[in-house]
């Protein structure tokens, strides 16, 4: 009887999260391509002209003398001709605190009110201008808007964490097809970030080094490296949970988006455009989610913000759901090799446009 060679189990850099890298059957990127029918809906509530269909904007960028003017919608007015626009979500998961709310009687289990904000940020007036195909100038506005919203929201007493994330395409949870990012604030640290924080704090206490800075030094040289510019580096993480997952880190030690300089904003726009453009061309516009991990207070010595990108190409089934251990059928080394080529092609294409 033949015995198969065992697969490798890998632990995340910091989290106690395990992945089985199950690459017995070599999978090519084309095995994952699923063409989705793309149609613009007859009526998009997020497209220009339909501003009255959403709540008043908490932030709009308007073109102004070659620059940008920042406004809010006030007194029933809805600004038109915006570059980016951010509104409260009509169906929020988290809501601002209110005075008169009756306390629910506890049942002996732990509960906390879902106090916070839930916003939708329209990334472009163009319905389809997602980061994989966007103009870098437009992505610069998007990142500046992330920074402005983070800055306003993180000052509120009941906000502990500002989560900025994107669901691309219906299969990844986007219920509206207009390009948008969501922002949710939570009153406590969500589990993944709390665990990253705790682990990186332990490393820092021991070695006085940032755990993430150490990871970057290693991944820059290795077989999981994908792309870099002066300020950012992209690589497939050692224990990737998702096929073709990659992370983008600032090279400079920074704990949140509020630390970015003007040129760093522009270079992050380039990083998003190049890396997501490479993903887009490699897997023919796959569904994906991305999320920033950032901490806005008290952890700046040892926390290092980053963006995690999770292509949605596999389905979590019984084993993953019941155990919290994952099976990934594409090794991060293979993913990185394919992404590296696709991203560098994307980069030369961008330069010749």
CB 294 within 8 A of CB 308: no
Q: Which two tokens stand for residue 352?
A: 């010749």
CB 148 within 8 A of CB 77: no
Measured from the CB atom, the residue of 113 and 127 that comes closer to Zn ion is 127
**Candidate residues 10, 85, 178, 180; the one interacting with Zn ion per rule CB under 5 A:** 178
**Candidate residues 17, 126, 220, 253; the one interacting with Zn ion per rule CB under 5 A:** 253
**DSSP code string of 172-210:** GT-SS-S-EEEEEEESS--HHHHHHHHHHHHHHHHHSS-
Residue 127, interface with Zn ion (CB under 5 A)? yes
Q: How far is the CB of 163 from Zn ion (least distance, A)?
A: 11
Q: Which two tokens stand for residue 24?
A: 């017995």
Task: Give the DSSP letter of residue 92.
Answer: -
Angstrom distance (rounded) from CA 221 to CA 48:
45
Residue 303, interface with Zn ion (CB under 5 A)? no
Residue 121, interface with Zn ion (CB under 5 A)? no
Measured from the CB atom, the residue of 158 and 165 that comes closer to Zn ion is 165
Contact partners, residue 273, CB within 8 Å, separation at least 6: 131, 132, 134, 136, 139, 350
Residue 44, interface with Zn ion (CB under 5 A)? yes
Residue 203, interface with Zn ion (CB under 5 A)? no
Measured from the CB atom, the residue of 2 and 43 that comes closer to Zn ion is 43
Strand 18-21 to strand 326-328: parallel, antiparallel, or no bridges (unpaired)? parallel
**Candidate residues 32, 212, 235, 249; the one interacting with Zn ion per rule CB under 5 A:** 212
* Subset of residues 51 to 110 that bind Zn ion, contact rule: CB under 5 A: none
Residue 209: half-sphere exposure toward Cβ, Cα within 13 Å: 8
Measured from the CB atom, the residue of 61 and 290 that comes closer to Zn ion is 290
Residue 293, interface with Zn ion (CB under 5 A)? yes
**Distance, CA of 166 to chain centre:** 6
Residue 126, interface with Zn ion (CB under 5 A)? no
Residue 47, interface with Zn ion (CB under 5 A)? yes
**Candidate residues 59, 87, 153, 210; the one interacting with Zn ion per rule CB under 5 A:** 210
Residue 312, interface with Zn ion (CB under 5 A)? no
Which stretches of the chain bind Zn ion, using CB under 5 A? Answer: 44, 46-47, 127, 178, 210, 212-213, 253, 293, 304
């Amino acid at each position: 009887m033949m015995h198969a060679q065992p697969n490798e189990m890998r632990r995340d850099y910091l989290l106690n999260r395990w992945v089985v890298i199950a690459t017995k059957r070599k999978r090519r990127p084309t095995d994952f391509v699923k063409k989705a029918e793309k149609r613009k809906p007859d009526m998009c509530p997020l497209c220009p002209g339909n501003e009255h269909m959403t709540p008043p904007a908490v932030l709009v960028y308007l073109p102004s003398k070659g620059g940008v003017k920042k406004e809010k919608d006030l007194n029933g007015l809805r600004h038109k001709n915006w570059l980016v626009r951010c509104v409260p979500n009509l169906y929020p998961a988290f809501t601002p605190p209110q005075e008169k709310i009756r306390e629910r009687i506890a049942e002996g289990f732990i509960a906390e009110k879902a106090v916070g904000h839930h916003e939708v940020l329209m990334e472009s007036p163009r319905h389809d201008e997602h980061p994989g195909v966007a103009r870098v100038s437009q992505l610069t506005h998007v990142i500046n808007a992330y920074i402005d919203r983070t800055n306003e929201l993180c000052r509120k007493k009941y906000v502990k964490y500002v989560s900025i994330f994107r669901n691309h395409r219906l299969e990844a949870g986007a219920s509206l097809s207009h390009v948008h990012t969501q922002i949710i604030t939570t009153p406590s640290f969500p589990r993944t970030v709390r665990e990253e924080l705790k682990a990186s704090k332990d490393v820092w206490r021991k070695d006085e080094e940032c755990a993430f800075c150490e990871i970057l030094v290693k991944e820059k040289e290795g077989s999981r490296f994908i792309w870099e510019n002066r300020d950012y580096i992209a690589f497939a993480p050692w224990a990737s949970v998702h096929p073709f997952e990659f992370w983008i880190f600032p090279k400079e030690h920074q704990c949140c988006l509020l630390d970015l300089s003007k040129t760093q904003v522009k270079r992050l726009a380039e990083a998003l455009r190049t890396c997501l453009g490479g993903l887009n061309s490699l897997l023919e516009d796959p569904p994906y989610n991305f999320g920033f991990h950032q901490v806005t207070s008290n952890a700046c010595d040892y926390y290092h913000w980053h963006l995690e990108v999770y292509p949605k190409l596999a389905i979590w089934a019984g084993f993953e759901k019941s155990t919290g251990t994952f099976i990934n059928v594409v090794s991060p080394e293979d993913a990185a090799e394919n992404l590296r080529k696709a991203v560098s092609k994307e980069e030369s294409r961008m330069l010749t446009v």
